Amino acid sequence: MNVHEGRVWTFGDDVDTDLIVPGRFLILEPSEIAQHVMAGIRPGFAELVEEGDIVVAGENFGSGSSREVAPRALREVGIVAVVAKSFSRIFFRNSVNLGLAPVVCPDAGVIEEGQSIRIDFDLGEVLIIETGKRLAAGVLPSEVAAIMEAGGMVEFLRTRLSESQL
Amino acid sequence: MGMTLAEKIIARGAGLPEVSPDEIHWADVDLAMIQDSGGPRRIWPMLDELGVGIWDPDRVVLVADHYVPAQDVNAARILQTTRSFASKFGVDNFYEAEGISHTLLVEKGHLRPGMLYVGGDSHTCTGGVMGCLALGMGSTDLLGVLATGRTWLRVPHTVRVDVAGVLEKGVTAKDLMLTMIGERGMAGAIYRVLEFTGSGVAAMSIDERSVLTNMCAEIGAKTGVIAADEVTINHLRDLGVEVDEGPSSDGDAQFLDTWRYDASNTVPVIARPHRHDDVVPAADLVNTPIGRAYIGACTGAKYEDLAMAAEVLAGRRVAPGVLLQVAPASAGALARAMADGTAQILVESGAQLLSTGCGACPGIGSGVLGPGEVCISTTSRNAQGRMGSPESKVYLGSAYAVAAAAVAGEIVDPLTVMGVPA
C-alpha cells in the first residue's frame, strides 16, 4: 500500500484515547468496541465511516491511555490512515502494529472535512484532490515501515520468528 | 561526546557503545509489565496464534489492577483469564488487587536504576522515579516483547527539568507538574524525555518524585526519569535490594533544552474540566461547588497522599452533600495508613474507603461519576467522560486540595483550610 486515496473526517488537537474509546467500553470485545469509536467526541461516528476513509487531526493525536483498542476500533470501522500534525507516541506505535497508517503532516490543518486526499507513503506527500494542494508528510523509518508493510506486528513477528531474525 | 541517562540505557539495551537522538534501534528489554485490561486477554490469543511462549517469565510482572474487584461477570472473566495466564506461562510475579502496577513495582522493588523497562500502560513512565527508562506501550507491542525480549525504540531527545528551591508546606509535586503542564500544554514535551534534577527534586520522597515521572504522560513526554541517588538506593535497601546508583547523564551530555522551575514559588493549583492543561491557582476557583471528592490512582493515592488528606481532615468532617472516596493506590499504602492512624482519621472524617486499584480514574471501577456530577480528584486526567458520564465534570488537584474541598463543599485554597499563612 504505497498510495491511498480516501475521504476525510477532521478532528482537532489532543484527541485523547479516552475520547476515541471511553473507559466504560473497554470491558467489551474489540468488535463491539468499534461500534462506539469516537463516542467521546463524535457519537455515531462508526455509522458515518466507509472503508478507506481517513482521519485528519491536529497535534498530539491519540494522547493519554495506551489502550490499543483506540486505533483498532478506527481500523475496524474502515479508517485506513490517520494524518495528524503530531501523534502521541504510544498511539503511533499501536497504529503501526495494527496496520493503521500514521502519517505526520505538519500542515494537516488546511485539509477540510469531506475533501478527498491521496497519501503517497513512499514520497511523503498528501495531495488534496479538490484543490490540488500538496502537503509534505513524514515517511516511516525503514525499521518501522517493515512492520507496517508486513501488515502489522503479528505478521512481522511470524516472519521474523520463523527466520530467527529477532 | 557524553550521553544522557536515557541514551545510556538505550545504548546498553542495543549493545552499542553510543546512540544519538532520532536513531532507531532494537534493544533488549530488562523487565516487562502487563496489566489485566490490555494484557492477557488481548495478548494471549496472539501468543497462541504465533505458537510461542514468553521469552523469560522471570522478567515479566503481571498486575490485575483495572478490573479489581470484579464488578460484573465480564470483569470476573477478565480476572480469570489474567490468573490463568500467570499460571500457564509461569509468571510468578503476579499481583491481584494488591495495588496499581505503577505504585506496586516501585513499592516491591522490581524497578532498579539503569533498567530498560516497558509496560502495557501509559503511566508506565512513573517507573522512571527509580532511575530506569520506563516506557509505556500497547498490547501488541508487549506481544513482541513477551515473544522476543526485544523492542524497537527511537532515541529521544532529553529535556532537563531543573527544580530549584523546596516546596512550601501544603504544596506538592502534583501542583508543580500541573503548573508545568498548564504552561506548556498537553503536547508540551511530545517525543521528549524529561530528566528531573535539582535541589527541589533531591528533597522529595519517592512518593512525591513519582508524581513528577507519572505526570510525564500528561505533558506528552516519552517518559520521565530521575537519576538514582541516596533516596533511591535507600528505598531499595529497605526492601532488601542492594544496587549501585546506576547510570546518570554525563556532564557534557546534550540536552535539547533546560526548563527551570523554583519549587518554592509553586502554589496550589487546579486543572479545570475537561483539559488537564487548563490550570489555574486553587484560590481562583473558590465558590466552585463540588459533590464528589476522589482520592485515588497511581498519581494521587500513595501513602503520602493519604497522609496529606488526613492532615487536612483531622478533627474535621466532610461537608454535608459531599461524598469523599478514597481508593488507596496499593495495599502497602493502606497498611501504612492503618498502622499510623491515617486511615482512622480519613474514615472518622466521613470518607468512604474503596478497594485498592485503578478504580474510578479510568471510568472502570468503583466510584464512577453520573451525569451532572462535579468531582475534584487527585487523579491525572479529566478528559470528558474519563471518570464516567460524559456529562460529569472533573477538577484535578493535590490530596490537600481534594480533602480541603471535601470539607468546604467547594473548591478552596487548601492553604487557607490548613492555616498556612500566605
Of B24, B49, B136, the CB nearest to A144: B24
pLDDT digits (tens, 9 = 90+) for A62-87: 999 999 999 999 999 999 999 999 99
Q: A64–B385: do the CB atoms touch at under 8 Å? A: no
B136 vs A contacts (CB less than 8 Å)? 66, 90
Full residue range of the structural domain in which residue A37 is found: 3-139
If pLDDT is split at 50, 70 and 90, which confidence band does B245 have? Answer: confident
Which residue matches cell numbers 483498532? Answer: A72
Average pLDDT, chain A: 96
Residues contacting A44, CB < 8 A, separation 6+: none
Q: Which of B34, B56, B122, B222 is the mutation pick for testing A, counting most A CBs within 10 A?
A: B122
CATH number at residue B390: 3.30.499.10
Minimum Cα–Cα distance from A157: chain B residue: B144
In the chain, the amino acid numbered B191 is: Y
Same domain, B284 and B404: yes
Three-state SS sequence of chain A: CCEEEEEEEECCCCCEHHHHCCHHHCCCCHHHHHCCCCCCCCCCHHHHCCCCCEEEECCCECECCCCCHHHHHHHHHCCCEEEECCECHHHHHHHHHHCCEEEECCCHHHCCCCCEEEEECCCCEEEECCCCCEEECCCCCHHHHHHHHHCCHHHHHHHHHHHCCC
Are B117 and B33 in contact by the 8 Å Cβ rule? The answer is: yes
Q: What sign for the dihedral angle of Cα B187, B189, B191, B194?
A: negative
Q: A153–B143: do the CB atoms touch at under 8 Å? A: yes
Q: How far apart, in whole angstroms, are the C-alpha atoms of residue B13 and residue B20?
A: 14
pLDDT at residue A23, rounded to an integer: 94
Residues contacting B299, CB < 8 A, separation 6+: B123, B174, B211, B214, B215, B378, B379, B380
Q: For residues B162-176, b (16+ Cβ closer than 10 Å) or e, as one string? A: bbeeebbebbbbbbb
- Pairing of the two strands B158-164 and B257-262: parallel
Q: How far apart, in whole angstroms, are the C-alpha atoms of residue B308 and residue B215?
A: 19
Q: B275–A40: do the CB atoms touch at under 8 Å? A: no
**Count of structural domains, chain A:** 1
Same domain, B249 and B118: yes
B137 vs A contacts (CB less than 8 Å)? 66, 90, 93-94
In the chain, the amino acid numbered B185 is: G
Last residue within a domain, chosen from B263, B279, B306: B263
CA distance B149 to chain A (A): 9
Same domain, B335 and B393: yes
Q: How far apart, in whole angstroms, are the C-alpha atoms of residue A73 and residue B314?
A: 47
DSSP H or E stretch at residue B407: helix B399-408
pLDDT digits (tens, 9 = 90+) for B5-19: 999 999 999 999 999
A93 vs B contacts (CB less than 8 Å)? 137-138, 141
Establish if A160 belongs to a structural domain: no
A18 vs B contacts (CB less than 8 Å)? 362-363, 381, 383-386
Establish if A124 belongs to a structural domain: yes
Task: Name the residue among A69, A44, A89, A95 with its Cα closest to residue B223.
Answer: A89
Same domain, B120 and B243: yes
Establish if A75 belongs to a structural domain: yes
What are the start-end ranges of the H helices in B32-172?
Answer: 40-50, 73-89, 101-107, 139-148
What are the start-end ranges of the H helices in B149-204?
Answer: 173-184, 199-202
Establish if A68 belongs to a structural domain: yes
Angle at B362 between CA B358 and CA B365, to 5 degrees: 55
Same domain, B276 and B321: yes
Establish if A122 belongs to a structural domain: yes
Q: B50–A18: do the CB atoms touch at under 8 Å? A: no
Same domain, B404 and B256: no
- Three cell numbers at B129? 522515579
Partner A, chain B 108-147, Cβ-Cβ below 8 Å: 120-122, 124, 136-141, 143-144, 147
Partner A, chain B 58-87, Cβ-Cβ below 8 Å: 66-67, 72, 74-75, 78
The reply to whether the predicted model has a pTM over 0.95 is yes
- Interface of chain A against chain B, CB under 8 Å? 13-14, 16, 18-19, 22-24, 26-28, 39-41, 59-60, 63-68, 86, 88-90, 93-94, 97-98, 141, 143-144, 152-154, 157-158, 160-161, 166
The DSSP string of B29-52 is -SEEEEETTTSHHHHHHHHHHHT-
Question: DSSP label at B122?
Answer: G
In terms of residues, how long is chain A?
166
Same domain, B259 and B317: no
Of A14, A19, A65, the CB nearest to B187: A14
A90 vs B contacts (CB less than 8 Å)? 122, 136-138
- HSE, CB side, 13 Å, CA atoms: give it for residue B363: 28
Last residue within a domain, chosen from B236, B263, B290: B263
DSSP H or E stretch at residue B262: strand B257-262
* Mean pLDDT (whole number) for A136-163: 94
Q: What count of CB pairs under 8 Å joins A to B?
A: 136
Exposed, middle or buried by CB within 10 Å (0-12, 13-18, 19+), for B251?
A: exposed
B73 vs A contacts (CB less than 8 Å)? none
Same domain, B63 and B25: yes
Establish if A44 belongs to a structural domain: yes
pLDDT digits (tens, 9 = 90+) for B264-315: 999 999 999 999 999 999 999 999 999 999 999 999 999 999 999 999 999 9
Same domain, B252 and B367: no
A16 vs B contacts (CB less than 8 Å)? 381, 383, 386
Last residue within a domain, chosen from B246, B263, B280: B263
Full residue range of the structural domain in which residue B405 is found: 271-418
pLDDT at residue A162, rounded to an integer: 85
The total of other beta-carbon atoms located within 10 Å of residue B191's CB is 18
The DSSP string of B92-104 is --EEESSB-HHHH
Establish if A158 belongs to a structural domain: no
pLDDT digits (tens, 9 = 90+) for B247-257: 999 999 999 99
B157 vs A contacts (CB less than 8 Å)? none
ipTM of this complex prediction, to 2 decimal places? 0.96
If pLDDT is split at 50, 70 and 90, which confidence band does B137 have? Answer: very high
CA distance A44 to chain B (A): 15
* Mean pLDDT (whole number) for B391-418: 97
pLDDT at residue B421, rounded to an integer: 72
* Mean pLDDT (whole number) for B376-389: 97
Contact with chain A for residue B274, Cβ under 8 A: no
Of B67, B186, B390, the CB nearest to A60: B186
* Mean pLDDT (whole number) for A134-141: 97
Question: DSSP label at B388?
Answer: B
Same domain, B352 and B291: yes
Angle at B109 between CA B106 and CA B111, to 5 degrees: 70
CATH number at residue A51: 3.20.19.10
Same domain, B321 and B374: yes
Judged against a pLDDT cut of 70, whether residue A166 lies above it is answered with no
**Count of structural domains, chain B:** 2
Minimum Cα–Cα distance from A62: chain B residue: B220
Q: How far apart, in whole angstroms, are the C-alpha atoms of residue B127 and residue B105?
A: 8
What backbone torsions phi and psi does residue B78 show, to the nearest 5 degrees? -60, -40
Same domain, B109 and B93: yes
